[in-house]
């Protein structure tokens, strides 16, 4: 009996340990934690079709502008990145090849690239300039390359034969190899629409090997599920993350029966850690190309400083990063009107940071925050130590108002950051009560603001 009892206790102890481990064993890798801490990025759009906005049609190769049309005479990547930095961005993604197929570097795969344009007498390489500017101003560089859509190859917009798709794949592979092997380490790689994974005509396996060979540390937006540094979308281009939102997520089956990441709100107990980016252009959706690319006469469609701040709250404040679009004009600059809004947005974020009343941190299910004297507040912010997992499942925040504890807000998911706004209250003490958790909560910060 003694042996059986000891064995039972050992089994229970092992089971308990395994359960405790399973609660927190789906964790971000260090690069994903670093990315979350950056919070704000930009995605910069420049393509040849901005020189022919009235005649170009993505579905018709014959409407592609001639290379002689691409002549942004004032092009200045320093100005782009400095504008991004003033907005608070910590990383930047460049659309090296957008939907037309025109390339901002001198690709050896075909002739439709910047080296055959008038820019600097054919000597320009905008990808190289962008990388240098990122290094100069301390932003992490990323590259966008759409592997599915390409007017030059008549790919994606119209149905392709398997033979043409396989030929197109070779062009894609060659250009990805150039971008990933010739410009140094990239912080983020953007796959718009993912990577072709069809067993018959797909390119996923080759792309994964290329990543391992040349960019093993890069974060991959919409990247192949076999990689452990992937990021996902929030299913809109409006900078608005649904709530609740979890970093952990379960895979779903695609049409080929393969596991892929769903761009949903996640699962608190999901199988993979896949952080998300809430992207949006700095112009509203009624603008040309959905606001992502520049066209003259649309200054009234540019989002205001308040619009940007609101989207910061509905993205970073809901456990995702925010990725703001920058539309470069035909002169090669980020328009001065847009740049001023970016600068003002950055100042508002700095002012908000200065408006913090008090902050604390702690471990456990009850954390209090006391002020020296009563203060008016209208925002609270919670952040978890996500390196140890996304543990909070439900919480409530109360304040002492007129001598009594009163609820001011509650919620479920926290993750990297949760920001909540409410009508101003006057208090000297707050209480964070975590009523649901998976493992012991580790609160990196619990802060109050009047902003």
Distances (CA, A) of 274 to 15, 21, 94, 267, 421: 27, 19, 22, 11, 26
Residue 332 domain-assigned?
yes
pLDDT band at 35 (very low <50, low <70, confident <90, very high): very high
Residue 88 domain-assigned?
yes
Say if residue 340 is in the same domain as residue 364: no
Domain end position, chosen among 354, 383, 408: 354
pLDDT of residue 207: 92
Say if residue 337 is in the same domain as residue 424: no
Say if residue 361 is in the same domain as residue 350: no
Percentage of the chain modeled with pLDDT above 70: 94
pLDDT of residue 256: 73
Residue 167 domain-assigned?
yes
How many angstroms separate the CA atoms of 50 and 65, rounded? Answer: 9
pLDDT of residue 276: 97
Say if residue 267 is in the same domain as residue 192: yes
431: helix, strand or coil: strand
Say if residue 173 is in the same domain as residue 102: yes
pLDDT tens digits, 45-68 = 999 999 999 999 999 999 999 999
How many angstroms separate the CA atoms of 116 and 171, rounded? Answer: 18
In the 8-state DSSP scheme, what is residue 439?
A: S
Which tokens hold the place of 343? 């600068």
| Residue position matching structure tokens 């995605």 | 43
Q: Which residues of 10-21 are buried (b: 16+ CB within 10 A; e: fewer)?
A: eeeeeeeeeeee
pLDDT tens digits, 192-238 = 988 876 777 788 889 999 999 999 999 999 987 767 799 999 999 99
Residue 5 domain-assigned?
no
pLDDT tens digits, 125-142 = 999 999 999 999 999 999
We report the CATH number of the domain holding residue 270 as 3.20.20.80
pLDDT of residue 5: 39
pLDDT of residue 197: 67
pLDDT of residue 183: 98
Mean pLDDT, rounded, of the chain: 93
We report the CATH number of the domain holding residue 423 as 2.60.120.260
Closest CA relative to residue 334, chosen from 82, 142, 118, 91: 82
| Lowest-pLDDT choice from 78-82, 247-251, 344-348 | 247-251
Say if residue 360 is in the same domain as residue 433: yes
Between 162 and 19, the higher pLDDT residue = 162
Between 368 and 15, the higher pLDDT residue = 368
Residue 432 domain-assigned?
yes
- Number of domains present in the structure of the chain: 2
Residue 347 has pLDDT above 80, yes or no: yes
Residue 19 domain-assigned?
no
Distances (CA, A) of 302 to 77, 228, 272: 21, 36, 37
Residue 2 domain-assigned?
no
Q: Please, how many CA atoms are within 13 Å of residue 220, restricted to the half-sphere of its CB?
A: 24
Which tokens hold the place of 439? 């493992």
Say if residue 417 is in the same domain as residue 337: no
Say if residue 55 is in the same domain as residue 140: yes
Q: Which residues of 420-444 are buried (b: 16+ CB within 10 A; e: fewer)?
A: beeeebebeebbbebeebbbebbbb
Say if residue 226 is in the same domain as residue 183: yes
CB neighbour class for 146 (10 Å; exposed up to 12, middle 13-18, buried from 19):
buried
How many angstroms separate the CA atoms of 205 and 228, rounded? Answer: 15
Which tokens hold the place of 29? 């890798």
Write out the DSSP string of 89-116: -SEEEEEEE-TT--BSS--SS-S-BGGG
How many angstroms separate the CA atoms of 415 and 245, rounded? Answer: 9
Domain end position, chosen among 330, 354, 378: 354
pLDDT of residue 446: 98
Say if residue 148 is in the same domain as residue 65: yes
Residue 7 domain-assigned?
no
Strands of 129-283 (E only): list them: 140-145, 188-190, 219-221, 230-233, 248-249, 251-253, 259-261, 272-273, 275-280
- Round to the nearest angstrom and report the end-to-end CA distance of the chain: 67
DSSP H stretches of helix in 184-316: 204-214, 305-313
Mean pLDDT of the region 385-408: 98
pLDDT of residue 6: 40
* CB-based contacts of 146, cutoff 8 Å, min separation 6: 97, 98, 99, 156, 191, 192, 193
Say if residue 345 is in the same domain as residue 361: no
Which tokens hold the place of 59? 């579905």
pLDDT of residue 10: 38
How many angstroms separate the CA atoms of 411 and 340, rounded? Answer: 35
| Peptide linkage before 378 cis (omega within 30 of 0) | no
pLDDT of residue 196: 74
Domain end position, chosen among 336, 354, 372: 354
Between 402 and 196, the higher pLDDT residue = 402
Structural domain boundaries, residue 196? 27-354
How many angstroms separate the CA atoms of 243 and 411, rounded? Answer: 9
CB 413 within 8 A of CB 389: no
pLDDT tens digits, 76-132 = 999 999 999 999 999 999 999 999 999 999 999 999 999 999 999 999 999 999 999
Say if residue 266 is in the same domain as residue 223: yes
pLDDT of residue 315: 98
């Amino acid at each position: 009996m003694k042996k059986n009892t000891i064995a039972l206790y050992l089994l229970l102890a092992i089971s308990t340990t395994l359960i405790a481990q399973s609660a927190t064993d789906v964790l971000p890798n260090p690069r994903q934690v670093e990315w979350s801490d950056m919070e704000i990025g930009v995605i910069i759009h420049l393509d040849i079709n901005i020189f022919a906005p009235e005649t170009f049609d993505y579905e018709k190769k014959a409407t592609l502008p001639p290379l002689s049309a691409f002549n942004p005479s004032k092009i200045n990547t320093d100005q782009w990145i400095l504008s991004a930095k003033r907005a608070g961005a910590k990383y930047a993604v460049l659309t090296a090849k957008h939907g037309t197929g025109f390339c901002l570097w001198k690709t050896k795969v075909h002739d439709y690239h910047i080296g055959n344009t008038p820019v600097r007498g054919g000597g320009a390489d905008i990808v190289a300039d962008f990388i240098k500017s990122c290094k100069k101003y301390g932003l992490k560089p990323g590259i966008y390359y759409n592997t599915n859509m390409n007017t030059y190859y008549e790919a994606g917009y119209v149905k392709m034969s398997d033979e043409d798709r396989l030929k197109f794949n070779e062009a894609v592979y060659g250009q990805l190899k150039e971008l990933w092997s010739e410009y140094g380490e990239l912080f983020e790689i953007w796959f718009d629409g993912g990577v072709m994974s069809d067993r018959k005509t797909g390119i996923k396996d080759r792309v994964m090997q290329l990543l391992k060979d040349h960019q093993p540390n890069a974060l991959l937006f919409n990247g192949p599920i076999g990689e452990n540094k992937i990021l996902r979308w929030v299913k809109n281009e409006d900078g608005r993350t649904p709530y609740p939102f979890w970093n952990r997520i379960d895979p779903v089956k695609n049409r080929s029966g393969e596991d892929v990441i769903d761009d949903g709100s996640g699962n608190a107990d999901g199988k993979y850690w896949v952080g998300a980016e809430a992207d949006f252009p700095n112009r509203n959706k009624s603008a040309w190309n959905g606001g992502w690319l520049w066209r003259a006469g649309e200054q009234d469609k540019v989002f205001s400083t308040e619009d940007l701040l609101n989207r910061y709250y509905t993205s970073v404040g809901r456990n995702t990063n925010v990725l703001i679009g920058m539309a470069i004009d035909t002169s090669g600059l980020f328009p001065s009107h847009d740049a001023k809004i970016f600068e003002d947005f950055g100042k508002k974020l700095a002012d908000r940071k200065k408006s913090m009343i008090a902050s604390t941190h702690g471990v456990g299910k009850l954390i209090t925050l006391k002020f020296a004297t009563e203060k008016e507040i209208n925002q609270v912010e919670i952040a978890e130590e996500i390196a140890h997992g996304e543990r909070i499942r439900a919480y409530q925040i109360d304040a002492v108002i007129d001598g009594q504890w009163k609820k001011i807000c509650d919620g479920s998911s926290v993750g990297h950051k949760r920001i909540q706004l409410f009508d101003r209250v006057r208090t000297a003490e707050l209480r964070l009560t975590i009523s649901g958790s998976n493992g012991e909560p580790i609160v990196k910060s619990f802060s109050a603001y009047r902003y």
